[in-house]
Amino acid sequence: MPSSTGLASADAGDDFLRARRRQALSRLGRRLQGSPDVGAILPFEEVVAALGRLGERDAGRRLIDLDAIAGTVGRRQADFDRAFRPTSPVVRTRWERIALAMREGRDLPPISVYRVGDVYFVRDGHHRVSVARALGRDRIEAQVVEVLTRVGAERRLTIADLPRKSSERLFRERVPLRADHAARVRLTDALAYGELAEGVEAWAFRMQLERPEPLDRPAAALLWFTTEFDPVCTMIREAGLLGDGTEADAFLAVGGERYRLALTHEWSPELLARVRAAR
């Protein structure tokens, strides 16, 4: 906790001014570095729309890490930055009142949050979060509702990541893999998910021509993973073509080179040897 003068009301005022200075310095630093959006608080509605909402469940009351709280529900985007430092003097009166209560050790009700992946979004309690962080606390009591999404959210998620996350979500909708399979189909460049989805759909179309029964998306996704992606990734690994990226990165890259060299969608060790020789 910051130093105390012995007069809690005066200390609460100093706490607010200190938090405002830190916010201003952080904003200036980000602007000079050319990355102003990094410090922007995450808007819940936009994030969930990009990730694809599946449902929600009550996770109960628990202590949560303050540095995992990076978003807001509703209209508080203009009042706080991503670190919940106040961005204007508008919130000062209420902020200082809560700071005084915390400094005096009074009990405050738990905040209310949504959890999306590894990130929390405040529904009620923005000022309490802001003050707790300013006073150097690490955790806060919260009533948590977990929102389940098709694509996950990491703590480092920023607004600039949302178009890429949306691209990944569209892939998951077009190619509805099982969770354990989806965990292996990860692309470094999220914008490449569209290309991969088109490849899977083209593959499924060719498979459908050879099968009498209809092949829906979940069935096609399972068949593609077990008879195409998984065995081909094994071949790529054994051929030394995996590279520094993910399995899916290698699958997409080698697949493109395979077709360029041999004009075929088939895989074989000999063809992979040709691809390796061409690199």
CATH number of the domain that residue 49 is part of? 3.90.1530.10
Domain termination residue (choose one: 100, 125, 157): 157
Instruction: Please determine, for residue 96, whether its predicted confidence score (pLDDT) is greater than 70.
Output: yes
What is 170-228 written as a DSSP string? Answer: HHHHHS---HHHHTT---SSGGGHHHHHHHHHHHHHHHHHT-SS---HHHHHHHHIIII
Rounded to an integer, the average pLDDT of 12-27 is 81
Clarify whether residues 43 and 126 are in a common domain: yes
Task: Answer whether residue 2 is part of any domain.
Answer: no
pLDDT for the residue numbered 263: 40
* For residue 198, pLDDT beyond 70: yes
CA–CA separation, 50 vs 146, rounded Å? 16
| 3 in a structural domain | no
CA end-to-end span of the chain: 58
In a shared domain, residues 70 and 24:
yes
Q: Are 122 and 43 part of one and the same domain? A: yes
Structural domain total, the chain: 2
Domain that holds residue 59: 8-157
Q: What percent of the chain has pLDDT over 70?
A: 84
pLDDT category at 6 given cuts 50, 70, 90 is low
- 76 has a pLDDT exceeding 70: no
Give the mean pLDDT of 166-172.
Answer: 94
Mean pLDDT for 162-172 is 93
Task: Compare 116 and 22 and report the one with higher pLDDT.
Answer: 116
- What is the model's pLDDT at position 10? 73
Q: Are 206 and 111 within one domain?
A: no
pLDDT at 50: 96
Global pTM? Answer: 0.79
- Asked if residue 186 and residue 126 are part of one domain, the reply reads no
Is residue 64 within 8 A of residue 142, CB to CB? The reply is: yes
- The label of the residue with tokens 């209560």 reads 101
Say whether both 143 and 199 belong to one domain.
Answer: no
Q: Are 41 and 82 in contact (CB under 8 A)?
A: yes
User: Is there a contact between 215 and 208 (Cβ–Cβ < 8 Å)?
Assistant: yes
